């Protein structure tokens, strides 16, 4: 037990030091790191959070991106708060799929997790851009989209993205076959909101009862 705690503590220090160093521009990161594999697929597939969530030390931010200055995202929080999100070589970016910082645009929404820096920025370990996870009811089915409602009967269009959208039926394995989706079913839609047209690109739809 003490060994576990010791290891966890050492890992936390290493990760924090690593991310901080990366944020300050002192690291060029190649291959596996103290944060785990830094390629996006590895980072998001890992069962372990890529940043040891020492709760008192991890930071979280959400909001809309108002400006991008180099590797810093200026974010307007939904409660009037402001955030500066520092992207580093170690930051994992998700936008419908694991991707790179080049895909991030002004106007996008995001959730970010990272470490508070002395200058007030957050050095991000992960940013999830436009991600939504909505409990919906299927109202209509078209070739390239699902018509859904969520919350208090709010309509949302879920776009089926070729070679990206997958389905899971009653918790079964993921498949690209959406032919078993039926009107009236409950569905959990994990996807990426599109600010331009207020639709959602579906990454995964989990169909329930």
Partner 1 sequence: MSRSYTCVRVKGTDMACGSTSLWAGETTWFCCGSAWGPCGSTGTGACGTCQSNAHQAAWPNASQACFNITRPDLCGESIARRGCGSVMNVKHQCSGATVCVTVSDCGPRTKSFCGESTCCNGACRTNRVIDLTPAAFSAIGNLSSGKLPVYIYE
The closest alpha carbon to 119, from 78, 85, 91, 71, belongs to 85
Scan residues 30-89 and list those touching partner 1 (CB under 8 A). 43-44, 46-50, 52-53, 55-56, 58, 60-64, 77-79
Nearer to partner 1, 70 or 120 (CB): 120
Segment near partner 1 (CB under 8 A); pick from 13-21, 26-34, 106-114, 116-124: 106-114
As given in the structure block, the two tokens for residue 158 are: 């879920």
- Each as own residue / partner, the long-range contacts of residues 2-8 (CB below 8 Å, 24 or more positions apart, any chain) are 8/52
Q: Is 160 in the site for partner 1 (CB under 8 A)?
A: no
Size of the site for partner 1 (CB under 8 A): 53
* Distance in Å from the first CA to the final CA of the chain: 42
Stretch that binds partner 1, among 13-21, 31-39, 139-147, 148-156 (CB under 8 A): 148-156
- Least CB distance from residue 16 to partner 1, whole Å? 15
| Residue given tokens 């329930």 in the structure block | 208
Q: Which residues pair with 33 in a beta bridge?
A: 36
Give the closest residue to 113 by CA, choosing from 19, 7, 13, 3.
Answer: 19
Closest distance to partner 1 from the beta carbon of 5 (Å): 10
158-to-19, 38, 128 alpha-carbon distances in Å: 36, 30, 18
CB 72 within 8 A of CB 86: yes
Positions that interact with partner 1 (CB under 8 A): 8, 43-44, 46-50, 52-53, 55-56, 58, 60-64, 77-79, 94, 98, 109, 111, 113, 126, 128, 130-135, 150-152, 154, 156, 170-171, 186, 188, 190, 193, 195, 198, 200, 203-204, 206, 208-209
């Amino acid at each position: 037990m003490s060994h576990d705690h010791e290891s966890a503590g050492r890992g936390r220090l290493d990760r924090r030091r690593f991310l901080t160093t990366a944020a300050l521009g002192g690291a060029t990161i190649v291959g596996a790191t103290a944060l785990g594999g830094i390629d996006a697929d590895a980072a998001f597939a890992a069962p372990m959070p890529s940043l040891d969530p020492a709760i008192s030390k991890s930071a979280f931010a959400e909001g809309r991106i108002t400006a991008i200055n180099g590797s810093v995202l200026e974010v307007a929080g939904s409660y009037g708060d402001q955030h500066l999100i520092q992207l580093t070589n170690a930051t994992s970016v998700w936008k419908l799929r694991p991707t790179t910082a080049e895909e991030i645009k002004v106007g996008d929404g995001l959730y970010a997790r990272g470490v508070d820096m002395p200058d007030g920025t957050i050095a991000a370990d992960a940013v999830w851009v436009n991600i939504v996870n909505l409990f919906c009811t299927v109202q209509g089915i078209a070739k390239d989209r699902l018509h859904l409602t969520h919350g208090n009967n709010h309509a949302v269009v879920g776009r089926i993205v070729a070679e990206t959208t997958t389905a899971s039926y009653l918790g079964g394995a993921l498949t690209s076959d959406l032919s078993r989706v039926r009107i009236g079913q409950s569905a959990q839609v994990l996807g990426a909101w599109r600010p331009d047209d207020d639709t959602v690109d579906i990454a995964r739809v989990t169909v329930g009862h």
